[in-house]
Structure 1
C-alpha cells in the first residue's frame, strides 16, 4: 500500500515536469516585465480616454494577451529553423510592404495600413521582425569584419527600407537603420564604418540651409550650416582613409568625402521635394516649438506642460488635468509617456524607464549567452529595435528629439506594434530556452 500511494503521488509531479519542460530555460523575468508594462499601458490608455467612452485600453490588453500566447509558443520552437526559411521570410516581408502601396489605407498623409478581416494591420511593424531574421541569417556565418559582407547586409536592408520610406513612414525607416547598425556592430563591423554609414545623414542635415536653430543669440537665429557640412565631409574623408581598405591613391578618403557631399545634396533635394509638410514640421518643431505653438509645435508644448505639471509624484491616476481634458493630442499612442509624467510624476517616469532598462539588460544577457551567432544576433536585433524606440519616444515627449511618431514599446496603443513586439520577444525567448555555451566570433 505504501508503494502504491507513493507511486500515485509521483504521477502528478512527473506530468507537471513534462508539461513545463519545453520552457525550462525560458527567461521568465524577460517575459513578465513586458506583460507588466502592457498592463500598466492599458491603465494609462484608459486614463487618457476616460471622458471619451473609447475602448482602446481593452484592445491594448487583448493584443497583449494574444501576443503573450504567441511568445510562449515561439519560445518552445527551435529558433534555428528560421535560418532555412529566411529568404521566404524576406520575400513575404517585401510583398506585404508592396501590398500596402497597392491596396493600403491612407490616414494622416500616409499609406501604411492594409485591412484584414476588417482590422487595420501595419505591415511595416512586422517588417522589423523580418529584417532582423534575415540579417541574423546572413551575418551568423559571415561576420561583418569583412566590408563586402557589410555591403551585402546593406543591400538586403535597402529594399524593405525604401518600401517603408515611400509610404511615407520616416519613423519606421529610422528603426530599420537602428536595427542594421546594432546588428552590424555585434557582428564585428569596424566602428568607423558604422560612423561612415550614418555620416551622409548628418551631412544632409548640415547642408540644409538655412536651418532654424533655437538659441539665445540672434546671430544663430538663421545660421547657414553649409560650411559645417564641408568640414564634416572632410572629417569623414579622413576617417574613410583610416578605416576603409581601399587606401591606394587615397581612394578610400575621396570616396567617403564624395559620399558625404552627395548625401548633403540629396538631403536638400529630399527636404524640398520629398518630405511632406507634416514631416518637416515634426523634424524642426523640437528645435523651437514656440515658433508655431498652435501648429507643428503644439504636440511638444502640451506634452512638456503635462510632464512638468506632474512634479515629483504626479496628480494621481485619472486626475491629471492635461490628460483628462485631452490637451495632449495622440496621448494614447505616441505621447503616452506624458500621461505617465503628469499622473505619476518623476517617480512614475523613472520606474517605467527602470523596468524598460531591465528588459534591455535581459535581452543583452541572452545575446551574450546564446549558443550560436544566429541566436545572439536575433537578440541584438530586438534589443536595437527596443532601445531606439524607447530613446526616441521618450526624447520627443520631453523635447529632446523630433516628433517622429515612434510608439513606446508595450505602452503605446497600437495593435500591430504590440503583436510585433511580442513576436520579437518570443524569438528571443526561444534563443534563451535552447541556449548552451555560446561560441564567440
Structure 2
C-alpha cells in the first residue's frame, strides 16, 4: 500500500526534476504580470477594438512554454553558438532593412506567414549572449577589452539605429552599460561613453531655458561647455595617456565634437517625430494637441485615478479611448486610471521584485557567463520599465519603449520570455553556494 502511494509522488518528482532549481518567484511573477496586462489591454479596447487583445495571452502562453524549454538545458551551450547567434542577429537586422515592412516612418518588421516579426526585439537577446561570451573570461577592466566589446556591439546597434528605431537602440545602450559595469569596467569610462550624447543635448540648450533644443546653427551653449570641461577632468583621471594632459584634452574634444554631431544629427538624421518627442518633453506645455497629446492625455488619465482608481473596465479616459496607443506604450496609464495610485505602486513593486530576483540569480550564478547573462536581462528590463513608466507620467520623453510583459507586442513578449528562460537556466544549473562576480 505504501509503495502504491509513493509511486505517484515519485513520478511527480521525476517529472519536475529538470526544473528543480529554477527561481519560482522569477518564473511565476512575469506570468502574473502578463495575465494582468491582458486584462488592461482588454479594458482599452472594450469600446473601440484596435487589435485582438487575446493574442497577448496566447503569445504569453507560447512564451511560457519556450521559457520552460530553454530553462531545462544548460546555458553554457550558448557559448559554443555565440558567434552563430551574433551572425544571425546582424543578418536579421540587415534583412529587415532590405525586405522589411514599413510603418509609422520606420522599417522594422518582417512579414512571416502573415505575422509581423520585429528582429530588433530578438536582437536584444543576441546582444546579451554575445557580450556575456566576450566578457566571461576577459573582463572589461582593461581598455582594450572594453573597446573590443564596444566594437562588436556597435554593428547591431548601428543597424537598429538606421531602421530607424531610436528606442531599441537606447535599450541596446542600457544593456551594454549594465554588462560592462558588471564586468568591472571603470565607471569613468562608462560616463565618457555616454557623455557625447549628453553634450549633444546640452549644446542646444540656451540661457534662458525657454528655448531648448534649437540646433539650427553652430552654437556652444554654456551648459555644453561646462559639461565638456567636466568630462575632460574625468578623462584625465580615468584614461591612460595622462602625459601632457592628453587624456583630458581628448575627452574634452570628444564632447565638443559630440555637440557638433548633435547639431548635424538634428538637422540631417533625426526624423520630425523624433524631434517633436524631444522638444515636447522639454516644453511639456507646448503643442498639447499635436506632439504632446499622447503624454498629456496619459497624465490626465493617471491623475484621474487618484488613490484607488475607477475600477476595472470603468476608467472614462480608457474606455473612451482618449489616450492614443494605450494598449502598447501607454498601458501603464490604464493601470493608473482604473486602479489608482495604489494599483501603480503594486505593479511597480512586482517589477522591483522581479528585478531583485534577476540580481539574485546574477549573484548566485556558478560562473561569470551565467552572471553576465542575468545582468544583461536585468539591464534590459530595468531600462524599459523606467523609461516606459517615466514617459507615461511626463518624466521621460516618449520613446516607444513597451512595458515588459504588459504592453501589447508579440515580438517583445516572446523576447522577454526567451530572456527569462535563459536566466532560469542559469538559476537551474547554479551551484548551491553563493557566487559573486
**Structure 2, unpaired ranges of 5+:** 213-218
Counterpart among 269, 273, 280 of residue 275 in structure 2: 280
1:304 aligns with 2:299: yes
Following superposition of structure 1 onto structure 2, how do residues 394-413 of structure 1 map, counting pairs within 5 Å? Answer: 394-413=389-408
| Aligned positions of 1:112-261 closer than 5 A | 112-208=108-204, 219-222=208-211, 226-261=221-256
Distance in 1, Cα, partners of 2:34 & 2:52: 13
When residues 53 and 175 of structure 1 are mapped into structure 2, their CA distance, relative to the original with a 3 A threshold, is closer
Q: Aligned equivalents of 1:81 and 1:105: distance in 2?
A: 34
Matched ranges for 1:360-439 at <5 A: 360-436=355-431, 437=433, 439=435
The aligned counterpart of 1:265 is: 260
Residue pair 1:314, 1:342 contacting (<8 A) in 2 also: yes
- The residue aligned with 1:45 is 41
Q: Secondary structure of the equivalent of 2:108?
A: strand
> Pick from 2, 8, 12: which aligns with 1:12?
8
SS across alignment from 2:310: coil
After the TM superposition, which of the residue ranges 240-249 and 355-364 deviates more from structure 2?
240-249
Residue 282 of structure 1 contacts residue 404 of structure 1 at CA under 8 Å; is this kept in 2?
yes
User: What SS does the corresponding residue of 2:76 show, helix, strand or coil?
Assistant: helix
Matched, 1:92 2:88: yes
Give, in whole Å, the separation in 2 of the partners of 1:91 and 1:210: 44
Q: Distance in 2 between matches of 1:227 and 1:210?
A: 7
Q: State the 1:269 CA deviation.
A: 0.6
Deviation at 1:10, TM superposition (A): 2.5
**Cα distance, 1:234 vs structure 2:** 1.1
Cα deviation, 1:23-61, whole Å, max 9, x if unaligned, reads 000111101100000000000000000012455320000
Q: Give TM-score scaled by structure 1 length.
A: 0.95
Contact 1:289 1:298 in 2 (8 A): no
**Deviation above 4 Å: which 4+ runs of structure 1?**
438-441
Structure 1's 260 and 413: CA in aligned 2 closer, same or farther, altered over 3 A? same
Count, aligned residues: 430
- Partner secondary structure for residue 79 of structure 1: coil
Deviations 1:376-430 (A, max 9, x none): 0000000000000000000000000000000000010000000000000000000
Deviations 1:147-169 (A, max 9, x none): 11110111011000000001000
Change (3 A) 1:263 1:53: closer
* 1:255, distance to aligned residue in structure 2 (A): 1.3
Q: CA RMSD in A?
A: 1.3
Structure 1, gaps ≥5 residues long:
212-218
Provide the rounded CA distance (Å) in 2 between the counterparts of 1:410 and 1:331. Answer: 14
Q: Check conservation: 2:86, 2:130, Cα contact below 8 A.
A: yes
